[in-house]
Chains A and B, each alone.
Chain A
């Protein structure tokens, strides 16, 4: 595909678009599909056909419209009108409202902060394109960054651009992306790999799923640019088997991109080849850790190994490997199209750009949002999220999943970026944000995450395998109101040991939910503690007696 051919497709698409007066866009991401959006789409298409409007009015499936709680959502582009909770029987009424008054019963205002306060970079195409058509993506300026990079830029130029943009890894740890690329590009190896980490294991996070389902080509373009920049010729997308729709759309997108010459041999007429394949995860949280992910792609048990050597030098099959998260790759095309300076102008001093969050839990507007870095938590939860439902009080927000922490009310005015969140004992994580109201028991929440970590621990290193089980038992004991002060101090001691001595990120961060709830909600632990009677409790618990002897 040459730049001219690309322009030709864009012109063709624009000509077709001009003949249409109306676009009715139905959300076809997993959330809305589960509430029957495909039937709604079919009913609308049937009705359009019956009324003989097929030439003028297009009914199309688009990506996630964001406000998952109100699905299925239908967006009428020309009228800029959003309909919520649509059922197939609403189709005639919706068509009656073409260019006329809206159906009030279904109307969902688009001037609310949920839509107005967002800043869409990664999600820019979600409302516009059909994720199953490559032409839609191309018409939205897609693949132009890749073709431009191949024809105009050298790999070094691209890496410098990414470094200047200040983009940091969106998987959670926030390692500077440009630096990683530069390390891989300098590494020596006959073959290099680019791997996309789409093993979104954090419970309560669905950003990567939405991106893969709504705009898969954006990720492919980002990966191809990365491959060109670091000198890789093969790539894998490691995606959770629990996301069947994302897998289907990814495979479809790869096929289309190969056919159009954006993947495969001699891309864009340049001497650059890149082959991409999908690998399925199989339900192991630890495979989000990069060395475990590599082991899993190699068909082995997903256990991590000590680093260094880092995957940048010694990765997949011992070759230099670049591993980035879905959202990181999805940022790349925008950065190259609009420039590093533009990207660096968004966000805070050390955290640039935007971040996609999955807002869920006890909050009115649950769904997918993208906001600039540095936005206060209060604005996310109370303006965009619309506050806490059922007249309850805000208690905490949990970020970063099982590796993160709970943030109490006193920090609501905190500006969200990598540094500020880790300062208060949580992490940015991949972007899950779960709001809790005053009915949540924080010890129970800590136990929930510890149950998760102990069952997801791969078992390779002792601190994580054994420590998380004991921490879980202690939390359970506290909840049963059978724990003593000694148990509480043992729990705190274990937090330090597991954090300090575990091999990989899973174990090193597993104590975070306990530590952060202990820090901000200690009274909930204290109120469950039994004073004295240590001997009586220990008699029931032989394990602990043994521990004391040591």
Chain B
């Protein structure tokens, strides 16, 4: 059995590691808590990096390769830091039928970004969601987690312009 003094110390003195440690502890440091733990890391840090991988691998006693394979397999985990704001475009079927391709095309034309990219000034990240399950309001875009239904290219471009201008001043 594992004793608590064998649990590795956090990689640095960032207080957010405590939450990660709590998740691992609540699952008894069992290897099957890997996905749950990575969720916690992403929730508090926004993305996963090598430091986090090593900490989690040690904590749950799984090979580093397994942490990396799981983190890269699931689309929900991202390895790149996000911009200050995040715009998530839903690409579910209903949204696709109702005009998401036009929204993405407008964004690419105006800001040269595709899903997964961040604008060159690091302010806005564009993500694509498989389906956010609000199909009745298609097309759906979320701005920093806030849902907007019946979106149009104009609405999305206006919001992104607002973000970019806002931060410049």
Q: A residues near B, CB below 8 A?
A: 30-31, 33-35, 67-69, 71, 200-206, 209, 241-243, 279-285, 296-302, 358-362, 366-368, 398, 401, 432, 434, 436, 440, 445, 448-449, 452, 458
Residues of B within 8 A of A281 (CB): 74, 76
Shortest 10 CB-CB distances between A and B: which pairs? A68-B136, A34-B147, A282-B74, A283-B76, A203-B92, A204-B93, A360-B135, A283-B75, A360-B94, A206-B133
Contacts A282-B39, A299-B34, A448-B96; A68 near B137 (Cβ below 8 A): yes
**Is B35 in the interface zone, CB < 8 Å from A?**
yes
Residues of A within 8 A of B93 (CB): 203-204, 360-361, 398, 401, 432, 434, 448-449
> Please, could you name 14 A-B residue pairs with CB atoms under 8 Å apart, sorted by A?
A33-B147, A34-B146, A34-B147, A67-B136, A243-B133, A284-B73, A284-B75, A299-B30, A299-B70, A300-B70, A360-B135, A360-B136, A361-B97, A401-B93
Q: How far is the CA of A206 from the CA of B69 in the complex (A)?
A: 29
Residues of A within 8 A of B108 (CB): none
Q: How far is the CA of A297 from the CA of B32 in the complex (A)?
A: 7
Counting chain B CB atoms within 10 Å of each CB, the highest count among A279, A282, A367, A452 belongs to A282
Residues of A within 8 A of B97 (CB): 361-362, 434, 436, 440, 445
Min CB–CB distance A495 → chain B (angstroms):
20
Contacts A201-B130, A432-B93; A31 near B33 (Cβ below 8 A): no
Q: Are A301 and B133 in contact (CB under 8 A)?
A: no
Min CB–CB distance A493 → chain B (angstroms):
26
Choice from B38, B96, B129 contacting A282 with Cβ under 8 Å: B38
CB closest chain-A residue, reference B88: A242
Contacts A69-B136, A204-B92, A361-B138; A283 near B130 (Cβ below 8 A): yes
Min CB–CB distance A532 → chain B (angstroms):
31
Q: Are B138 and A242 in contact (CB under 8 A)?
A: no
Counting chain A CB atoms within 10 Å of each CB, the highest count among B66, B131, B133, B138 belongs to B133
**Is B157 in the interface zone, CB < 8 Å from A?**
no
Min CB–CB distance A387 → chain B (angstroms):
16
Q: Are B39 and A200 in contact (CB under 8 A)?
A: no
Q: Are A34 and B149 in contact (CB under 8 A)?
A: yes
Min CB–CB distance B16 → chain A (angstroms):
19
Residues of A within 8 A of B38 (CB): 282
Q: How far is the CA of A241 from the CA of B133 in the complex (A)?
A: 12
Residues of B within 8 A of A200 (CB): 133
Q: Are B74 and A302 in contact (CB under 8 A)?
A: yes
Interface string of B81-93 (1 = CB under 8 A from A): 0000000000111
Q: Are B134 and A280 in contact (CB under 8 A)?
A: no
Choice from A67, A202, A362, A368 contacting B131 with Cβ under 8 Å: A202
Q: How far is the CA of A297 from the CA of B31 in the complex (A)?
A: 11
B123-145 residues with Cβ-Cβ distance < 8 A to A are 129-138, 140
B36-64 residues with Cβ-Cβ distance < 8 A to A are 36, 38-39, 62
Contacts A203-B92, A279-B36, A299-B33; A69 near B73 (Cβ below 8 A): no
Min CB–CB distance B66 → chain A (angstroms):
8
**Is B148 in the interface zone, CB < 8 Å from A?**
yes
Q: How far is the CA of A299 from the CA of B28 in the complex (A)?
A: 14
Residues of A within 8 A of B131 (CB): 201-206, 242
Q: How far is the CA of A401 from the CA of B133 in the complex (A)?
A: 13
Residues of B within 8 A of A67 (CB): 136
**Is B25 in the interface zone, CB < 8 Å from A?**
no
Q: How far is the CA of A280 from the CA of B136 in the complex (A)?
A: 24
